[in-house]
Amino acid sequence: MIRTASRFGEGSAKVMLALLFALRGTVLLYQGEELGLPEVDLRRDQLRDPVGDLYYPLFKGRDGCRTPMPWNASQTNLGFSTGAPWLPLGPSHAALAVSVQEEDPASSLAFARMMLKARKDHASLRDADLTLLEAKLPLLAFRRGEILCVFNLGRAAMDFSLPPNSTSLNLGTGDVAQKGATLTLGPLSAWFGRL
């Protein structure tokens, strides 16, 4: 699969992480998703995946999402290895390295850690059933037990009518404002509340 940040477009990493951590089941977080890494566009001579080599250029295989993890922006091969890695590092990945993101409280890595903690702290995000709620696309809304989860997966602001007595958990991402029972979600945003 193409990396989430490339598949859903620029600015989508955090809202997709929020959605992943809100869904039922075991969270499967592929290495680099917590950093918002984009797909690496590899030349044919850089491919190692036999499927990509066979179907190039129609399908480049899985290598674009299997490039080395960027640990440290100031080290050789971004801290992945002192030797030559099996696949090249992504040119844009240095700015997204763990060492860089650990210094930024608004980074994808910080958000992923916050969502992991929220899932640990709120049993409903782990164990409760998921009930879809009425919402106009591209909004997605559902409840997990007493937790209300609302996502704007589009590129324009959208309004959502909150159920009575909904209170914010101060958890989510993007530009979100609440005025009375109306929640206005900016592009690629998420909001979590308690019912």
Contact 70, 47 (CB under 8 A): no
Q: How many helices (H) and strands (E) does the chain have?
A: 6, 8
Ramachandran angles phi, psi of 81, nearest 5° = -165, 150
Distance linking the first and last C-alpha atoms of the chain: 36
C-alpha 68/C-alpha 32 separation (Å) is 9
Question: What pLDDT sits at residue 1?
Answer: 79
Q: How is residue 108 written in tokens?
A: 């994808």
pLDDT along the chain (195 residues), means of 10: 93 97 95 96 94 92 95 97 94 97 98 98 97 98 98 98 95 97 98 97
Distances (CA, A) of 159 to 36, 141, 182: 26, 12, 6
Question: What pLDDT sits at residue 25?
Answer: 95
Question: What pLDDT sits at residue 149?
Answer: 98
